Structure 1
Amino acid sequence: MYLDTKVPLDFIPKWDGDDKRAMTYFNDLNELVRESGPESNLAWQLPRLAPMGFRGLLRIWWSNLSDGLKDQFRLDLFSFIRGLRLHYLTDRWGNDRRAEFQAMRFREVGHLRETPFEYMNRRIFLARILYDLTPEEMVAHVLTGAPGAWLFLLGEHVVRDTDDLLHRVREAGPSLTAAYQAGTGSDGDTLDDKVNAIVEKRLGPLLSSAVQRAP
């Protein structure tokens, strides 16, 4: 049996429910969708097929879920991932990932050669798993922690949603990289700290509200 996209079912990521491998599993799902191309409908097909890759107690847990809850999981890829986070993974897992999100920085250890587009994609991916936000709140949350000069280059005030944000980041990639490199000189960290402090002061109430609403 094959998917319409000609991806063999053997390629469906496997997972036994181990908390430590959850993000690896989610990334594998996301990469499979991305590699299928923009014209593919795999993001809607995969949630129906992904449980075939469940193993051990996770497979038993899935078989015990109600049909109604399974239908919610199957709406699209992120409904599937968020369903696993809300109904299977522990609160400790969520808290650890939120701390990881807050600490995430451009070209941090393990991502020293990433582009602005790659950075923003990995940040948006984790944010969509962790938080239930409006489009405007999601943009504000994702941009917190980015190099300070980026907020001005991207026109933060008029970014509609994360789709718009990714388009702007891709278009402005060279300028964003240059701004980051210019800000890593002797006083670059101090400048970024000041800019981020201003942003956090202005967005503080919004971000606090978003975290409190997050499941």
Structure 2
Amino acid sequence: MNRIVLTLAISFLFSAAYSQETKADILQDLEKTRSAVETAASTATLKASSRLFKDKDDLTSVIVVIPEGSLVDLLPGGDDTFLHVMFEGNEGFIYSTHATINKAPVAAFQESRQPSPVSASETQSARPVSGKVTSRYEYLEQQYGPSAARKISQRKIWKGMNPEMVRDSWGSPRKINRIINDNAVSEEWTYSKTTLYFQNSTLRDWGPAKD
């Protein structure tokens, strides 16, 4: 009789210990899942290159041009037009239409805790893509060549620039005045202290800002 009682007691202790271990494993899996969900929901991937503005109300406050395909961290303070993000230590705002917010993954518990084997194709796809643009200078060099990229990265302007080059150097102007005369299109881009003069999408001259 005593032996039966002892056997039952030992079985109960083993069962309780196993139950606690199982609960601990489940809680650990839940914590990992929650962490993965929070991480995925707090990032976005750029579907087009986008300027990072220091101030969303000042479109001339360009900090850097974020290349297409880059991953950014989402921060509080965005709205329907702009996302508040962090990219390579730079905090600012990008147009919400230029990025796709990463959806949280749907987690499912697997019966087996052993990692599944990784196929050769999955291993190959996990490797970094060579030639991907990773910095503002590389983006500018790819767009305009080394000489122009160097000048634009230093926020310089010169005669002969096209509008996109000027935007990448100085950001968007606070006002554009366009005049169409026969086959010629003239534009005046007004910044805080300077007005730029374009003729048929080519920068021809500049001077003090007009009121």
TM category (shorter chain) comes to under 0.3
Higher relative contact order (CA 8 A, sep 6+): 1
Q: TM-score, normalised by structure 1?
A: 0.26
Greater Rg by CA: 2
If each structure's helix is expressed as a fraction of its own residues, which one has the higher value? 1
Q: TM-score, normalised by structure 2?
A: 0.26
If each structure's strand is expressed as a fraction of its own residues, which one has the higher value? 2
